[in-house]
Amino acid sequence: MERIEIEGKKVFLYRDGDPPILDRKVPLEDFLREVAIATRRPGRGNHLLLPPGARIIKADGTATVCCLEQPPQVRLIRWSADQMGKEGEYQTYRLAFPYIVYFFLFFQASLEDMRVHYRTAPLQSPNDVLLMPNLWNVQADPEKLSACRACLRGRPEDLWQRPLVQQITMVLDFFWGTGFNTDVAGNSFERAKTLDTRIASLKAWEAASEAEPLFPLAVPWEELELTVGDVMDRLVESGPQHQRAISDTSDLANLMYRISESK
């Protein structure tokens, strides 16, 4: 049996014991935020504004997945060879990209996950196959459910308070603007750099981008055994599924495990 106590700015979760066992301690502000998200319900007449490039939306219960596509383009990229790059340690490169396909998972209208894939042609169907990207802050292993997950550590904390379209815009700005580094072990860049000499290093990539900005459409990117529809279905299935209203202490206790513990 769980017991939740609030003291000052902390929330304590106790489980049965003699004396009761302290199982978790979280900030009150974070706890109240999670309660607000879990109890949020769409009202009648609500409309969903989609961001530019949105191609497919899948809504299933309290989960929503948005698939967004961006055309080939040259981007200004900031890169640091350190795990936690400091402002003065970043270098800037102009790099060409193929079609980029993003997936955003929302639970109760709050962003939970973001995936990044490539394609060499625009999307035509949910059955279109996806390609592995070559980005540093994206997980690589295609055998794992976390394949192509973007690292969003340090993302804006107030995302959950904003409409879906603003959350997507803000997290994209954060992902591309914060700067890339080696935080993610086994990242997509390291996996892909042997596929083509033009993407073997940042300098080679930049030189190839200057010579032919559309060269990424001819790179033999690694093909995944996943379609657009597969990824959207997986994200819905893997996301938190609170299909019923909060009704007892146990439901609140589950929310506390979504929050980082206080020291």
pLDDT at 94: 97
User: Mean pLDDT across the stretch 141-162?
Assistant: 82
Q: For residue range 90-122, what is the model confidence (pLDDT) as tens digits?
A: 899 999 999 999 999 988 778 889 999 999 999
User: Mean pLDDT across the stretch 77-100?
Assistant: 82
Provide, rounded to the nearest whole percent, the portion of the chain with pLDDT above 90.
43
Q: Does residue 21 surpass a pLDDT of 90?
A: no
Q: pLDDT category, 160, cuts 50, 70, 90?
A: confident
Provide, rounded to the nearest whole percent, the portion of the chain with pLDDT above 70.
84
Q: Does residue 37 surpass a pLDDT of 70?
A: no
Q: pLDDT category, 185, cuts 50, 70, 90?
A: confident
Q: For residue range 2-20, what is the model confidence (pLDDT) as tens digits?
A: 788 888 888 988 888 788 8
User: Mean pLDDT across the stretch 26-53?
Assistant: 70
Considering only residues 202 and 84, tell me which one the structure prediction assigns the higher pLDDT: 202
What's the whole-number average pLDDT of the chain?
85
Considering only residues 42 and 111, tell me which one the structure prediction assigns the higher pLDDT: 111
- Domain chopping of the chain, boundaries: 46-241
Q: pLDDT category, 193, cuts 50, 70, 90?
A: very high
3-state secondary structure the chain: CEEEEEECCEEEEEECCCCCEEEEEEEHHHHHHHHHHHHCCCCCCCCCCCCCCEEEEEEECCEEEEEEEECCEEEEEEECCCCCCCHHHCEEEEEEECEEEEEEEEECCEEEEEEEEEECCCCCCCCCEEECCCCCCEECCCCCCCCCEECCCCCCCCHHHCCHHHHHHHHHHHHHHCCECCCCCCEHHHHHCCCCHHHCCHHHHHHHHHHCCCHHHHCCCCEEEEEHHHHHHHHHHHCCCCCCCCCCHHHHHHHHCCCCCCC
Q: Does residue 43 surpass a pLDDT of 50?
A: no
Q: Which range among 52-56, 188-192, 251-255 shows the weakest confidence by mean pLDDT? A: 251-255
pLDDT at 213: 97
pLDDT at 212: 97
pLDDT at 83: 59
